[in-house]
Amino acid sequence: MPTRRFADGEVVRGRWPGSSLYYEVEILSHDSKSQLYTVKYKDGTELELKESDIKPLTSFRQRKSGSASSSPSRRRGSRSRSRSRSPGRPPRSSRRSASASHQADRKEARKEILEVKLTPLVLKPFGNSINRYNGEPEHREKNDLPHKTTQVHTGSFSLQEKFHLPQESSYLSTQYSLRPRREEIKLKEIDAQEEKIVTEGPTSLRTFEVTTKQPKEVEFGGVPGFYAFILTSGLVGASLLWDVELYYVYNHFLQFALAATVWAVVLSVYLCARALKAPRNDLSPASSGNAIYDFFIGRELNPRIGTFDLKYFCELRPGLIGWVVINLVMLLAEMKVQNRAFPSLAMILVNSFQLLYVVDALWNEEALLTTMDITHDGFGFMLAFGDLVWVPFIYSFQAFYLVAHPNELSWPAASLIVALKLCGFIIFRCANSQKNAFRKNPNDPKLAHLKTIHTSTGKNLLVSGWWGFVRHPNYLGDLIMALAWSLPCGFSHILPYFYVIYFTALLVHREARDEHHCKRKYGLAWEKYCQRVPYRIFPHIY
Ligand code: NDP
């Protein structure tokens, strides 16, 4: 049985993929199957490394400062040309012309370029601002946030922590999975922005001023966001005016669902095929290299045709808008099937509740950018099927049920259900908005009263407010709403409760996945958060 050489929590030096440079890393875990170690660099980057790419601290000699090639001024010069980049990005060109006759000198120069580009930048997911990184695994709690967000002080990571193996090995092409994809994506956006280097101390700290061209703020989720919903509403209104038989959709519900399934499969095959050519930088952290698994989870993180983001589009437009259109069709079908002049109270509640949910999602569509679907999962069959089939055809199930199973609701019962729905909605919306606002701008004065835990990635975790109540208050609110959607259908059948049962299972599983990722990402800081906020979704229960 193979044994592991390094223990969890051990601080060692790990090779940066594609280079012969070693940086200080912490061992997070070890997979006995693949024999890979998950390690964390000081900038928060997590990689899987082979044992042969990890060395104990004692195997290294620190490089002496003061040599020609490592002088701070020279590095400064090279940085001004290369700009700040993530460690994973390859070098573009040699920064000095080395004499052909001085092979060793060239090799040295190449190493230096890598070192310059390996300076960690810790980026926030929003706002194009750069966070403060101090190089320590911090776990201190604070509620006074730093106020300068346009500057970054990188630690002595790149300057002081260059280590070389006594025997340098050649540049290797390696297979590693880079986890913090969001940072990569934001870096691409940062590429389009202007960065300017300002003063710095002699060797230890570097200060970069990032002049960002702020995009003009847009409301309603941007031009095509909410307008897609308004356009659809206009089309449905016109269909009603022109007496288009929308009842047809109810009568052919299964056929429509099957057609949507075919679309989802075709889309997944296309996504799978194009992912074969996708650069490694564009692959999802969830992808594994196994063809079947990747077909399901999605290999490419955010596949785009030009600037058109396929995943973002499918997550919000066809599924969500299709869902409320189908609900409306069911409302009309109920009136027709049950010969009613008006829809039933139960049907009105189901339609209004779910309409509110969809309108809220489209209105706050920016919040989608910090969800797991966008940041972690690839775009494959799971999301394609979920977006195009599951959401519109399964989530409309309560309305579908009411067409053939009338349930007369009393006003007091309806009032209680409305109160439940509003309670769930307030928790859901406030929790999501609080986290989104915090991720967008941790220095937002409106959030100044909240307590946070600092993490070694540079990002903070909220430990008070909604996120101090339970670890997933947004899931709690979502589940309360799900129950409120089912209750108008009465208690004579389990089917209207399918959604709330399925959704509970989904969110419990999702919470476990997120927990796993956060533990890897934030390490001890996450454990401290879990101690402070012991319940995951349901206070005092789970
Ligand atoms: P969340 O929006 O809850 O995002 C989880 C992430 O939030 C974590 O990975 C972490 O990312 C960050 N985070 C966690 N704890 C904290 C904290 N204390 N302080 C600051 N940041 C924290 O996850 P989901 O993407 O799963 O859900 C988004 C919404 O979508 C939820 O409301 C959910 O109910 C809903 N949903 C609805 C579905 C449906 O079918 N109706 C399906 C799935 C989800 P980081 O630190 O990197 O920012």
Does residue 462 line the site of ligand 1, with CB under 6 A?
A: yes
Average pLDDT over residues 393-405: 93
Share of the chain above pLDDT 70, in %: 68
Does residue 370 line the site of ligand 1, with CB under 6 A?
A: yes
pLDDT digits (tens, 9 = 90+) for 320-373: 999 999 999 999 999 999 999 999 999 999 999 999 999 998 888 877 777 778
Pseudo-torsion of CA 23, 29, 35, 37, nearest 10°? Answer: -10
Q: In angstroms, what is the span from residue 372 Cα to ligand 1's centroid?
A: 6
- Kindly tell me if the per-residue pLDDT of 75 is higher than 50: no
The two three-digit tokens of residue 373, written as one number = 């679907």
Predicted confidence at residue 180, as pLDDT, reads 40
Predicted confidence at residue 18, as pLDDT, reads 62
Q: Whose CA is nearest to atom 20 of ligand 1?
A: 461
Q: Over the chain, what is the mean pLDDT? A: 73
- Pocket probe for ligand 1: among 461, 481, 520, 530, the residue whose CB has the most ligand atoms within 8 Å is 461
Nearest-5° Cα angle at 465, 366 to 181: 40
Kindly state the helix (H) or strand (E) to which residue 331 belongs, with its residue range: helix 318-337
pLDDT digits (tens, 9 = 90+) for 185-219: 444 444 444 333 333 333 232 332 333 334 445 44
CA-CA distance, 330 to 318, in Å (whole number)? 18
Kindly state the helix (H) or strand (E) to which residue 210 belongs, with its residue range: strand 206-211
CB 81 within 8 A of CB 94: no
Counting from 1 in the atom list of ligand 1, the atom nearest the Cα of 428 is 32
Of the ranges 98-102, 496-500, 538-542, which is most confident?
Answer: 496-500
Distances (CA, A) of 523 to 26, 44, 165: 10, 10, 28
Does residue 181 line the site of ligand 1, with CB under 6 A?
A: no
The lowest-confidence range among 65-69, 265-269, 465-469, 480-484 is 65-69
Average pLDDT over residues 422-432: 95
pLDDT digits (tens, 9 = 90+) for 464-486: 889 999 999 999 999 999 999 99
Strand blocks (E) in 7-75: 11-15, 22-31, 36-41, 46-50, 54-55, 61-62
- Kindly tell me if the per-residue pLDDT of 304 is higher than 70: yes
The lowest-confidence range among 56-65, 325-334, 361-370, 517-526 is 56-65
The lowest-confidence range among 53-62, 320-329, 394-403, 525-534 is 53-62
Q: Whose CA is nearest to atom 6 of ligand 1?
A: 371
Distances (CA, A) of 410 to 397, 417, 476, 487: 22, 11, 27, 12
Cα Rg of the chain (Å, integer): 27
pLDDT digits (tens, 9 = 90+) for 21-33: 788 888 888 888 7
pTM for the model stands at 0.62
Q: In angstroms, what is the span from residue 371 Cα to ligand 1's centroid?
A: 5
